[in-house]
């Protein structure tokens, strides 16, 4: 009797374990409607690992009937399939036939990273084996002969077996999977080269040959595994950004039933139409409409606007916003999977999928290098066979060609420069998360900045403390200590050590301010029009601003501002000098953005943008041929940080923003941005020089090896020399001095020049 759901299929995964493919009904239920009859299904495909996999999957699925398109996200190992109609296309079965077992994606699964554990173990085994075989090889190169040489060769052969079986198994399984399904990937030539070198070495050992190449095969495997492990770790960091964004969602909410009872439900069980009670300090779990209550909301996640938004009955709210001051009752208008926060997750994943298509310099070179080397060795073998008829000599020379063209210098050309550059940046307070980011940063021609928290510090500060009576400031600070509002915190942090006033009662009026009584008087701190009900309402005593009143009479006024980040003007000037155009994208109001743009000399800015609007603007610039750098800090900037060609965030950014960015600068100064661009461009020049050195080395060494004039010892010395030359060239980057600011922008001579912020 079958245990599978009706319509389900059976498949064998790579480990030979029988598993059930999801049925059409399961796929339909797990799919998301995109409007009309268009739907999207997300599949998890764990065996995707390279650019060839992406092309193979997207091309094959795109040919299926009713499939509108497919997109592979290499970071999350996910395939998103868009399809039409009532019948589910057979895309799961098609992936199985290609050798990519797939199952429906489950965002709740938090399994341990088994792939990383396997890679680390493989690196350890290959490194241990390579080190020991190298020690034995030194003895052979030093003149060991006869039985001693044979003993060292046999010991090397035995040490290499577990390394090839366990560490090399990663490449052998992938290569066999590709070949058995009639396709090629980058692991095929690696598996062939390693196997051929070991087989020939074993033949030489059995026949008491002078030379064996166990060290070459295992060492090459060791370095390749290091590269794959680092690549996997980088991609897992990208997944961390998405997972971190998902964790910002509330776990659940208190639901008010029709009979007056209250139940706490997980967020996935909240349905449209339910009434939710949101206390002050809680995040709103789903999109909804306020039916009762007044409060201030921190909307930085949604809009990036620094000033809290006052909301009341009848207004709409979005998932992820923080309720600051008062309790709210809202009616859910969307399920969690259709909420704003879920859309942010989808935007981030789409952005990461686009960036995953970027091919690093090392990848582009390797794509040509591997087939050229193997073709050269094969042609060498055929040529010597035709010339001498001695297959042993022909094979030996062919393997010598493989050894002397071992991609040590080429493999070091890129990473050694990136390591030196990363250290150079770290010493200047900039952390690099991914080597490919430096390559992307070196090519940018447009820099897009968020406003609040990036160009400015995003922290309101009281600037007229000197003009306020200390006694009045102490009373205001005591009242402000009872509120979470950003301006209240600014007032509370500005009071000196004046005697603590005795407040008899304190209450907060969301959207207006704070009221307290003391010694028979009524004190109010908040909006001028609400607090100063006995004050004049024209001229300077109008409705705007924040004031402290006693029995309706204004006794103190408060002025706030958001300071520019240190050297913001100088940093933008340096970017302009480096032929990088600057734009500002912000969720703040047009007035606030216009004032900052005028101060900093920014010609182009777009205010009042949602996160999707920032992504749309960056994608429009990309379509116009621009390479965009995004600099932002807010939660609402996360999709834009992922969508840009490369991204930078300050250390003060939210965790999710730092995870999504390629660079993080640790100091307050914005000069870190042009510094990173400068170092990345110089590193790019050194990388190109190193690749040229490696190519010239091969152009000289390969013909000599093809002619049969190279022994293994000479090949080893030549490889070492080329590697040392590449390393020495990369170390020149430490001697480069960053471009120092020749001039300080006028706006950087002042510490606080940003716009006023008010309760409004």
DSSP track, 434-452? -HHHHHHHTT--EEEE-II
- Give residue 629's pLDDT: 96
Q: Is the pLDDT of residue 580 over 70?
A: yes
Mean of pLDDT values over 721-729: 73
pLDDT for the residue 310: 83
Euclidean distance between CA atoms 264 and 259, whole angstroms: 15
Structural domains in the chain? Answer: 9-104 (3.30.70.100), 114-244+356-412 (no CATH), 252-338 (2.70.150.10), 428-458+564-678 (3.40.50.1000), 462-561 (3.40.1110.10)
Between residues 649 and 221, the one the model is more confident about: 649
Q: Rounded to an integer, what is the distance from CA 449 to the centroid of its chain?
A: 17
Residue 543: per-residue pLDDT: 42
H/E stretch holding 582: strand 581-585
Determine which of 64-78, 81-95, 694-708, 711-725 has the lowest per-residue pLDDT on average.
Answer: 711-725
In 389-433, where does DSSP find H-type helix?
A: 391-404, 408-413, 415-427
Residue 37 designated active-site:
no
Residue 539 predicted with pLDDT over 50? no
Identify the three-state secondary structure at position 458: coil
d(C-alpha 317, C-alpha 303), whole Å: 12
**Res 297: pLDDT:** 85
Q: Are 492 and 513 in contact (CB under 8 A)?
A: no
Closest CA to 634 of 578, 587, 703, 699: 587
The maximal CA–CA distance of the chain, rounded, in angstroms, is: 113
Which residues are bridge partners to 431 per DSSP?
664
In the predicted model, is pLDDT for residue 256 greater than 90? no
Average pLDDT over residues 629-648: 85
Asked if residues 510 and 521 have their Cβ atoms less than 8 Å apart, the reply is no
State the pLDDT confidence band at 514, using cuts at 50, 70 and 90: very high
What is the model's pLDDT at position 605?
Answer: 93
| 3 state DSSP class of 739 | coil
Q: Poorest-confidence range of 441-455, 671-685, 724-738?
A: 724-738
Phi, then psi, of 247 in degrees rounded to 5: -70, -10
Give whichever of 9-18, 316-325, 441-450 has the largest mean pLDDT.
Answer: 441-450
- DSSP 8-state assignment for residue 173: H
* Residue 107: predicted pLDDT: 53
Residues 6+ apart with CB under 8 A from 482: 488, 506, 508, 514
pLDDT score for 627: 94
Q: Phi and psi of 131, rounded to 5°? A: -65, -45
Residue 561 has pLDDT above 90, yes or no: no
Among candidate residues 215, 287, 450, 748, the one labeled active-site is: 450
**SS in 3 state form for 111-150?**
CCCHHHHHHHHHHHHHHHHHHHHHHHHHHHHCCCCHHHHH
Token duo for residue 16:
């030979």
The stretch 182-201 carries a mean pLDDT of: 74
350 band by pLDDT with thresholds 50, 70 and 90: low
Residue 429 C-beta-side C-alpha neighbours within 13 Å: 14
Across the range 710-714, mean pLDDT stands at 59
Residue 623 tokens read as 């379509």
Q: Is the CB of residue 757 less than 8 Å from the CB of residue 721?
A: no
Phi, psi of 555 (to 5 degrees): -115, -10
226 DSSP 8-state letter: H
What mean pLDDT is reported for the chain? 77
Burial (Cβ within 10 Å: 0-12, 13-18, ≥19) of residue 711: middle
CA 50 to CA 23: how far, in whole Å?
28
Binning pLDDT at 50, 70 and 90, where does residue 749 land? very low
CA nearest to 217, candidates 197, 231, 232: 197
Closest of 316, 320, 312 to residue 333, by C-alpha: 316
Token representation of residue 291: 């039916």
Which has more pLDDT, 305 or 395?
Answer: 395
- Angle of helix 187-206 relative to helix 146-162, nearest 10 degrees, comes to 150
């Amino acid at each position: 009797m079958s245990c599978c759901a009706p319509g389900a299929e059976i498949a064998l995964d790579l480990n030979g374990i029988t598993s059930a493919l999801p049925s059409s009904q399961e796929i339909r239920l797990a799919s998301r409607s995109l409007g009309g009859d268009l739907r999207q299904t997300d599949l998890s495909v764990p065996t995707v690992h390279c650019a060839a996999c992406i092309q193979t999957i997207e091309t094959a699925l795109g040919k299926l009937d009713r499939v509108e398109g497919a997109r592979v996200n290499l970071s999350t190992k996910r395939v998103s399939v868009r399809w039409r109609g009532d019948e589910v296309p057979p895309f799961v079965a098609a992936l199985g036939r290609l050798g990519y077992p797939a199952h429906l994606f489950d965002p709740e699964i938090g399994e341990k990273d088994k792939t990383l554990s396997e890679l680390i173990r493989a690196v350890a085994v290959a490194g241990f084996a390579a080190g020991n075989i190298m020690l034995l090889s030194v003895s052979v190169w030093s003149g060991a002969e006869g039985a001693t040489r044979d003993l060292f060769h046999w010991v090397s052969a035995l040490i290499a077996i577990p390394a090839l079986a366990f560490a090399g198994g990663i490449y052998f399984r992938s290569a066999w999977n590709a070949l058995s399904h009639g396709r090629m990937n980058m692991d095929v030539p690696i598996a062939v080269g390693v196997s051929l070198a070991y087989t020939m070495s074993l033949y030489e050992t059995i026949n008491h040959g002078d030379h064996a190449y166990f060290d070459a095969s295992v060492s090459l495997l060791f370095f390749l595994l290091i590269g794959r492990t680092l690549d996997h770790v980088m991609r897992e960091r990208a997944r961390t950004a998405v997972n971190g964004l998902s964790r910002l969602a509330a776990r659940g909410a208190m639901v008010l039933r029709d009979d007056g009872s209250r139940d706490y439900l997980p967020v996935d069980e909240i349905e449209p139409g339910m009434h939710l009670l949101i206390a002050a300090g809680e995040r709103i779990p789903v999109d909804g409409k306020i039916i009762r209550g007044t409060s201030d909301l921190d909307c930085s996640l949604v809009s990036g606007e620094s000033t809290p938004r006052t909301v009341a009955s009848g207004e709409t709210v979005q998932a992820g916003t923080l309720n600051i001051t008062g309790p709210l009752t809202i009616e859910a208008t969307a399920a969690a999977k259709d909420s704003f926060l879920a859309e942010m997750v989808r935007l981030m994943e789409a952005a990461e999928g686009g960036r995953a298509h970027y091919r690093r310099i090392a990848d582009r070179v390797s794509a040509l290098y591997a087939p050229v080397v193997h073709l050269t060795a094969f042609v060498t073998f055929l040529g010597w066979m035709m010339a001498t008829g001695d297959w042993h000599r022909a094979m030996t020379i062919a393997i010598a060609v493989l050894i002397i063209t071992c991609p040590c210098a080429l493999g070091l050309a890129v990473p050694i420069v990136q390591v030196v550059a990363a250290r150079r940046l770290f010493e200047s307070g900039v952390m690099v998360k991914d080597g490919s980011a430096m390559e992307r940063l070196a090519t940018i021609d447009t820099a897009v900045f968020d406003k609040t928290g990036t160009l400015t510090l995003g922290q309101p500060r009281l600037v007229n403390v000197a003009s306020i009576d200390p006694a009045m400031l102490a009373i205001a600070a005591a009242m402000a200590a009872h509120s979470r509002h950003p301006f209240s915190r600014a007032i509370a942090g500005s009071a000196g050590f004046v005697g603590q006033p005795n407040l008899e009662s304190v209450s907060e009026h969301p959207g207006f301010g704070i009221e307290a009584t003391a010694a028979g008087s009524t004190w109010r701190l908040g909006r001028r029009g609400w607090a100063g009900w006995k004050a004049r309402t024209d001229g300077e005593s109008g409705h705007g601003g924040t004031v402290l009143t006693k029995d309706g009479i204004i006794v103190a006024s408060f002025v706030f501002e958001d300071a520019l980040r240190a050297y913001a003007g100088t940093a933008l000037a340096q970017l302009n000098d480096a032929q990088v155009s600057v734009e500002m994208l912000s969720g703040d109001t047009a007035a606030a953005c216009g004032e900052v743009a005028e101060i900093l000399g920014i010609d182009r800015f777009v205010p009042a943008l949602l996160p999707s609007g920032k992504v749309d603007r960056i994608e429009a610039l990309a379509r116009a041929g621009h390479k965009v750098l995004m600099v932002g800090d807010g939660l609402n900037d996360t999709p834009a940080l992922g969508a840009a060609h490369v991204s930078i965030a300050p250390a003060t950014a939210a965790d999710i923003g730092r995870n999504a960015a390629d660079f993080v600068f640790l100091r307050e100064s914005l000069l870190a941005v042009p510094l990173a661009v400068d170092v990345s461009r110089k590193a790019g020049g050194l990388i190109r020089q190193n690749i040229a050195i490696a190519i010239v080395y091969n152009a000289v060494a390969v013909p000599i090896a093809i002619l049969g004039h190279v022994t293994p010892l000479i090949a080893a010395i030549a490889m070492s020399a080329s590697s040392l030359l590449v390393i020495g060239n990369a170390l020149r980057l430490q001697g480069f001095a960053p471009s120092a600011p020749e001039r300080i922008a006028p706006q950087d001579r002042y510490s606080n020049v940003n716009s006023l912020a008010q309760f409004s």
